[in-house]
Structure 1
Amino acid sequence: MHIDERKKLLKRTESKLIQLPWYVKEFIEYSKRKRSPNTLLNYTLDYITFFDWLISEGFYKGERVDIPIEVLESLRFSDIDRFGDFLSFEHNNAPESVDRKYAALKSLFHYLSQISEDEHNFPYLKRNVMIKVQSSNNEKSTLEDKAARIENKILLDDEIFDFRLFVAEGFKETIKDNRRILNSHLKNMERDLALISLILGSGMRISETIALDLNDIDRLKSKLSVTRKGNKKDSVTISDIALQDLTSYLQIRESRYHVTEQQTAVFLSLPTGPSGKTNRLTVRAAQKMMERYAKAFGKPGLSMHKLRHTFATKYNKENNNLGALKEQLGHTDVNVTMIYTHIGNEDRRKSVNKADS
């Protein structure tokens, strides 16, 4: 590589590094002797994507550059798997692109857990979740491949009704012997059901749902004003059952969560701490809540984002209108939305064969 090109790439990397935490900067500096300038730049861009995702998922409230290393230590394999889904389904990354970003993260986590040393000569990171992550062996991705990955982790047909009923009635039976968890569930059940129903009945992202304020709701038109990526405002239609569950929650919201009209957030957490202050529910808290319901329901792969996939699959099956679905989901590229035309193909094939027999 020509020295001028090398300098140019390193300068671009430095301009991006100032947006990342100190430990990432240290790793890139360490890697300068071992990796090409092009690789270092790609690593830096991949880390920006990853840390932005951490913030959007509620792992940290604040600026990207300030994310503490403890956040990386707290990550679980399911979190990294969700990041892979985000890359595949939201950014439409092919498996080889996902693998490349995973490789960048593996290099960073390896450095932090094996090579770095703090003032006591211990590694910065005590636990490396990336060890558990396997590559896809660079197999070519097709829409069918991506659909197959989703299909076993979403709710299909009667499962949608069954899961909603489980949250409303069945879950408390599974935890009746744990008084602490039961009390928490009973206090938050209407909120949890409204949140889950809203995503199942609109396809909204969890970050969009959590960001809702009371004045974003138009109950007469069954519509919500949603802030999309890039702070773009959009109008989203919600189902009748989602509106019903949301209305039931709003009827007890003020008294249950001890708030006044000055608190505009729709979804709230119960008062905590000495001050007893009620705050907007965080994305992370919502994800953890969903994990409890999904595990008890017997579908541990189900997540808030899989509820969005559930809505999109059902919508496409019932309406067969890709353009309308694209707008409803807030996709900028219809090619991303195309995946939902491939979920349920196996069911259709069986129906055709049955009719033909």
Structure 2
Amino acid sequence: MADELTYSEEQNRINTAKLRTLLNDLPKFCSTYFRGIEQNTSARTRIAYAIDLKGFFNYLHDNNPVLKNTDVHDYNISLLDELQATDIEEYIDYLRLYEKDGKSITNYERSIKRKLCSIRSMYKYFHTHQLIDHNPAIQVNIPKIREKAIVRLEVNEVAELLDNVEEGNLATQRQREAAKKLGCRDLALLTLMLGTGIRVSECVGLDINDVDFDNSRIKVVRKGGYEAYVYFGDEVEEQLHNYLEERLHTTALTGHENALFLSSQRKRLCVRSVEKLVKKYANTVTTVKHITPHKLRSTYGTNLYQETKDIYLVADVLGHADVNTTRKHYADLVEENKRSARNAVSLREKRK
């Protein structure tokens, strides 16, 4: 009998199959590009690139009379040399508002930036490897994005949320009944996310044997596929212990035996279910803020930085490959920290 795939391995298998399907709708030469970036990107990133490039080439097919009679899959790489920066700019303008299946589709700056970055990445690869002579994509300006303020839960909101989970304080009778059965799991899961800052994908991917109580840590698979240890505190440990006593007496369905967090159907909890769970409990403490699993991560990152004032530690704990990513997200806090330190160094003793 073959060994059971881990959650990460299963997701990679699914994503690989999805990417291969997408490649059938792209020009053949794109396969070279995706093989070339495989070592430095995650499968999910490559899928996002493929979806963006599919939109770009479909636009060219539908709007360029010369290309209309040729199947996208049969486009030659020479097409990339023939395109001008204005062609890409026209596509960017098209993305702002267009019709599809009778519906108006709108893209704002953040979405447009991502799609343009996908095109630029493809062009950069082929130009760097001397497979094309020109790179018009680099001439197209990337839209400026206004950074939004970090949405997070305040300390009192975190405490209230966890109290509501523990006590089953929910809006409807149906939710309260479900909480009686799953409250221990929900409390452990939310305490873990709020107490470690792990990503929702990392959370649902946890197996029972990934929890190491002897060293107060869990083993997660980070973005990019590498394994890392994340340490947890006493509050997290207590709730994990409580939940595991219950979990070890639950018989999971075949293929889900190792999963730490199970659904009511005794299957591994999925990302979408956690998103719904977070929304349900977050609505008990705030209806103004749109709280998602990622906002719980932001809450932890904010609290950790406020306690340690160490942006490098925050970056390491959150699994950011580049500290500048962390610095960008927590820029306001970093600036406030610098401002509060303005009188930390005295030049002369104050005279009485």
Same fold flag (TM > 0.5):
yes
Partner of 2:276: 288
Superposition deviation, residue 140 in structure 1: 5.0
**Secondary structure in 2 aligned to 1:230?**
coil
Q: Is the 8 A contact 1:27 1:111 kept in 2?
A: no
Partner of 2:61: 29
Superposition deviation, residue 268 in structure 1: 0.8
Q: Is the 8 A contact 1:13 1:40 kept in 2?
A: no
CA distance in 2, matches of 1:38, 1:108: 25
CA distance in 1, matches of 2:109, 2:58: 26
Query: Does 2:178 correspond to 1:189?
Result: no
The code of the aligned residue for 1:305 comes to H
Distance 1:39 1:345, change over 3 A: farther
Superposition deviation, residue 223 in structure 1: 0.5
Superposition map of 1:136-215 within 5 A: 146=147, 149-150=149-150, 153-169=151-167, 172-175=168-171, 178-215=172-209
The code of the aligned residue for 1:259 comes to A
Greater per-residue helix proportion: 1
CA distance in 1, matches of 2:271, 2:94: 25
Query: Does 2:139 correspond to 1:107?
Result: no
The code of the aligned residue for 2:62 comes to Y
Distance 1:227 1:107, change over 3 A: same
Superposition deviation, residue 347 in structure 1: 9.7
CA RMSD of aligned residues (A): 4.2
CA distance in 1, matches of 2:303, 2:278: 20
Deviations 1:258-289 (A, max 9, x none): 33897100111112xxxxxx210000111111
Query: Does 2:301 correspond to 1:312?
Result: yes
CA distance in 2, matches of 1:253, 1:233: 24
Superposition deviation, residue 182 in structure 1: 2.1
CA distance in 1, matches of 2:318, 2:296: 12
Distance 1:40 1:211, change over 3 A: farther
CA distance in 2, matches of 1:157, 1:16: 46
Which runs of 5 or more structure 2 residues have no equivalent in the other structure?
A: 1-25, 35-45, 68-78, 113-141, 343-352
Partner of 2:325: 336
2:251 to 258, 262, 271: 258
Greater shift, 185-194 or 155-164, is seen at: 155-164
Superposition deviation, residue 107 in structure 1: 3.4
Deviations 1:229-275 (A, max 9, x none): 121011111122122112211111244x433897100111112xxxx
CA distance in 2, matches of 1:348, 1:155: 23
CA distance in 2, matches of 1:312, 1:192: 21
Q: Is the 8 A contact 1:212 1:266 kept in 2?
A: yes
Partner of 2:131: none
CA distance in 2, matches of 1:188, 1:105: 48
Identity of aligned residues (%): 26
Query: Does 2:237 correspond to 1:236?
Result: no
CA distance in 2, matches of 1:38, 1:154: 46
What is the number of equivalent residue pairs in this alignment? 255
Query: Does 2:242 correspond to 1:248?
Result: yes
Greater shift, 342-351 or 25-34, is seen at: 342-351
**Secondary structure in 1 aligned to 2:100?**
helix
Partner of 1:303: 292
Deviations 1:178-219 (A, max 9, x none): 433222222221111211111111111110111001111101
Which runs of 5 or more structure 1 residues have no equivalent in the other structure?
A: 1-8, 43-99, 115-126, 272-277, 353-357
Q: What TM-score do you get using the length of structure 2 for normalisation?
A: 0.59
**Secondary structure in 2 aligned to 1:297?**
coil
